[in-house]
A and B are shown apart, each in its own frame.
Chain A
């Protein structure tokens, strides 16, 4: 294969999306920690979002397929747990895409607060109202919580701060 640069690999990775939130690429999510090139071999280091996230296996596979199709002979995916992934690493572009997709993006920087019965103020992605209510901190995937909007009366998902 031709000589490729890291920038080129990152560009290819920008076409690999999260199977559960397909508007987000792996770069938007901020889970790609490193790319190491060695001739026609490449190692991509990724950080899991949540320990049990079933999408991680699919994401690893998608990265492998994407890079093999570009001519690499060997693609290694390495999992790195520390430093732990945080939504602070999500790109601004990613947050914008989430909002347009109908999912409220993470609103603050992550913290590990233990305050009970406290919720973030999350604006409705449809009408923009801040008169919203937390339904559950756990949603259909590990990374999302459930809200409802008291203004337009629609339920919506929030990509929770983590």
Chain B
């Protein structure tokens, strides 16, 4: 990560990027199921949720790009580390949502580690979505009260979609957990492994703290008990044992990612990096 100045605007920018990156990377991961779903209806269902995440990412990136473009030139120059983006900014050009998605390097992505984890099987995919959807549901509920009107509006719009996501992923956790011996065992294994990535959801970054202090962001400690209750209820109905609280993985929100993000970006960004400004 490069030396990023800290002030009111950059806090909003970083905050929006955290949200956008979560949505983009999870949407991308989920979209890998397109054409590979266990049955046609579920293939359609999961790719629908990918599309929602992508749409939400676009809204946050558009907001972030507007905030960025309004920054003074000296604050913009080294904000992002990739040379291709720095050159564009040095030339005095405005950046847009596509630049933020396609031209930033891995260490400038601020998504939580949970969303970049590989799909593996249906149980791992579903539990990743469930942990995230439950978080997202309470997060957007609170973000609707943000003093930043644009963020509140995106939250209001997105919450309706996230409600569908949460119902869908909750039902799948229950179906598999309370299903056959094998589906139960594989669901439990997925829960156990993915659990270590849930702590980071509630870790307050500097931008989270600053936005909360201004009445613009969400108190992650405040929504944590709601998330825990929801997760406990669904896991109980799924006859799945909730893992003991353990050491948690962290770093994504600060730009320290697992090796998986690099592969995602290689696929996601290849065309724009190899053929700049191409459209189809």
A residues near B, CB below 8 A?
48, 50-54, 80-86, 110, 112-117, 135-140, 142, 146, 162
Known contacts A114-B166, A137-B168; A81/B53 CB under 8 A = no
Q: Which residues of B contact A52 (CB under 8 A)?
A: 51-56, 58
- B167 with A50: CB separation less than 8 A: no
Q: Which residues of B contact A82 (CB under 8 A)?
A: 149, 152-153, 156-157
Measured in the bound complex, the distance between the Cα atoms of B150 and A139 in whole Å is 29
Q: Which residues of A contact B167 (CB under 8 A)?
A: 114-116, 137
Chain B proximity of A48: nearest CB distance (Å): 7
B residues 164-178 in Cβ contact with A at 8 Å: 164, 166-168, 170-171, 174
Q: B164 contacts which of A83, A85, A115, A137 (Cβ < 8 Å)? A: A137
Q: Which residues of B contact A110 (CB under 8 A)?
A: 160
Q: Which residues of A contact B53 (CB under 8 A)?
A: 52
Chain B proximity of A78: nearest CB distance (Å): 13
Tell yes or no: B59 within 8 A of A by CB: yes
15 contacts between A and B (CB under 8 A): A50-B52, A51-B161, A52-B52, A52-B58, A83-B156, A84-B156, A84-B159, A86-B160, A112-B159, A114-B163, A136-B42, A138-B49, A139-B44, A142-B48, A142-B52
- B41 with A136: CB separation less than 8 A: yes
- A81 with B42: CB separation less than 8 A: no
Interface of B is mostly: helix
- A81 with B156: CB separation less than 8 A: yes
Interface size class of B (residues with CB under 8 A): 35 or more
In the complex, what residue of chain B is closest to A47 when comparing beta carbons? B157
In the complex, what residue of chain A is closest to B152 when comparing beta carbons? A82
Q: Tell me the number of A-to-B contacts counted with CB atoms below 8 Å.
A: 86
- B156 with A137: CB separation less than 8 A: no
In the complex, what residue of chain B is closest to A135 when comparing beta carbons? B41
Q: Which residues of B contact A80 (CB under 8 A)?
A: 153
Known contacts A82-B152, A116-B171, A138-B49; A53/B55 CB under 8 A = yes
Q: Which residues of B contact A86 (CB under 8 A)?
A: 160
Measured in the bound complex, the distance between the Cα atoms of B170 and A52 in whole Å is 22
- A84 with B160: CB separation less than 8 A: yes
Q: Which residues of A contact B59 (CB under 8 A)?
A: 51, 81
Q: Which residues of B contact A162 (CB under 8 A)?
A: 160
In the complex, what residue of chain B is closest to A86 when comparing beta carbons? B160
Q: Which residues of A contact B161 (CB under 8 A)?
A: 50-51
Tell yes or no: B158 within 8 A of A by CB: yes
In the complex, what residue of chain B is closest to A54 when comparing beta carbons? B51
Measured in the bound complex, the distance between the Cα atoms of B41 and A81 in whole Å is 29
- A117 with B152: CB separation less than 8 A: no
Chain B proximity of A56: nearest CB distance (Å): 9
Tell yes or no: B231 within 8 A of A by CB: no
- A51 with B45: CB separation less than 8 A: no
Measured in the bound complex, the distance between the Cα atoms of B164 and A162 in whole Å is 10
- A116 with B44: CB separation less than 8 A: no
Q: Which residues of A contact B160 (CB under 8 A)?
A: 84, 86, 110, 112, 162
B residues 31-64 in Cβ contact with A at 8 Å: 41-42, 44-46, 48-49, 51-56, 58-59
Tell yes or no: B154 within 8 A of A by CB: yes
Measured in the bound complex, the distance between the Cα atoms of B149 and A138 in whole Å is 30
Measured in the bound complex, the distance between the Cα atoms of B124 and A146 in whole Å is 25
Q: Most chain-A Cβ atoms within 10 A of its Cβ — which of B48, B55, B163?
A: B48
Q: Which residues of B contact A117 (CB under 8 A)?
A: 171
Q: Could you list 16 further interchain pairs (A-B, Cβ under 8 angstroms) beyond the known A138-B48, A140-B44?
A: A51-B58, A51-B59, A52-B52, A52-B53, A81-B156, A82-B157, A84-B159, A110-B160, A113-B163, A114-B137, A117-B171, A135-B41, A136-B41, A137-B167, A138-B49, A146-B41
